[in-house]
Amino acid sequence: MHTGDFNWALIPSFLAALDRGSLMAAARTLDTSQPTVGRHIGELEAQLGVVLFERTGRGLVPTAHAHRLAEAARSMSGAADQLARQASGAQLEARGTVRISASQPVTCVLLPPLLRQMRELHPDIQIELVSSNAVSNLLQREADIALRMVRPDQSSLVAKRVGRVTIGTFAHRDYLRRRGTPRVPTDLLVHDLVGNDRNTDILRGFAAMGFPLQREDFAVRTDDLNAYQAAVTSGLGVGFLARYAVRENPELVPLLPMLDIPPLP
């Protein structure tokens, strides 16, 4: 017999009959009928040209041919299972595009080294980076993943706290050489301050310290996080920056460690 003529679909009935000892029990195991199992075994015997079972009143007695076939059949069955698992794993292999939205410092400083590691592990994933300080509407698929400093209020979104961002007070060495170094918080009131335009976070922070400043008390004002950091880095004044964003810049000097600025989640 040519191996190409062999009907592997008959093997489950054969193994069930071998393991269960009767056509009836094999049929129950396979959720089929007793005549169907009997027919499958008959076809298999005809294809192989050997007798696989002696039929007795007490059931089926396997022959030596049956035991030899069972060894090969179980090996084949295991290989088929492994092939199916590999095929399933291939389908589950991460691929496609992921759109990530995050603030400018996060997309420029924090994410690139992490994304490089991820791309090495999952080369079939492409990344779309949205550098934005706005809270993207994930429900409208503006992004698949958003890294934000506020917890989303849409109940259908899955949110996980991944860390916290600590904020410090910094100024460039050149600015401090020109204007002196603030030693206590009240010294800030006579320094050039870098603040926000419409965002009120820094104003509220000063108010919490007992300093009710106005927008006009800030020498430079911008809501753009990259522009804000550039202003401080250029020596325009004292500003408040995420520590991770300045750790590679030795020209920025940390100031006023006693200032208790709440970290951002």
SS (H, E, C) 220-259: EECCCHHHHHHHHHCCCCEEEEEHHHHCCCCCEEEECCCC
Q: What is the pLDDT of residue 85?
A: 67
pLDDT of 42-57, one tens digit each? 999 988 889 999 888 7
CATH of domain 96-146: 3.40.190.10
CATH topology of domain 3-91: Arc Repressor Mutant, subunit A (1.10.10)
Q: What is the pLDDT of residue 165?
A: 87
Give me the residues of the chain with pLDDT under 50, please: 2-4
Q: What is the pLDDT of residue 239?
A: 96
Distance CA 153, CA 156 (A): 9
pLDDT of 69-99, one tens digit each? 888 887 777 777 776 666 666 555 678 888 8
Structure tokens belonging to residue 127: 């990344």
Query: 172 to each of 129, 225, 227, 232, how far by Cα in Å?
Result: 30, 17, 15, 7
Distance CA 124, CA 94 (A): 7
pLDDT of 139-167, one tens digit each? 566 788 888 887 777 666 788 888 888 99
Q: Is 30 exposed, middle or buried (0-12, 13-18, 19+ CB in 10 A)?
A: middle
167-255: in CATH 3.30.470.20: no
Residue spans in the chain of domains classed CATH 3.40.190.10: 96-146, 167-255
Q: What is the pLDDT of residue 60?
A: 87
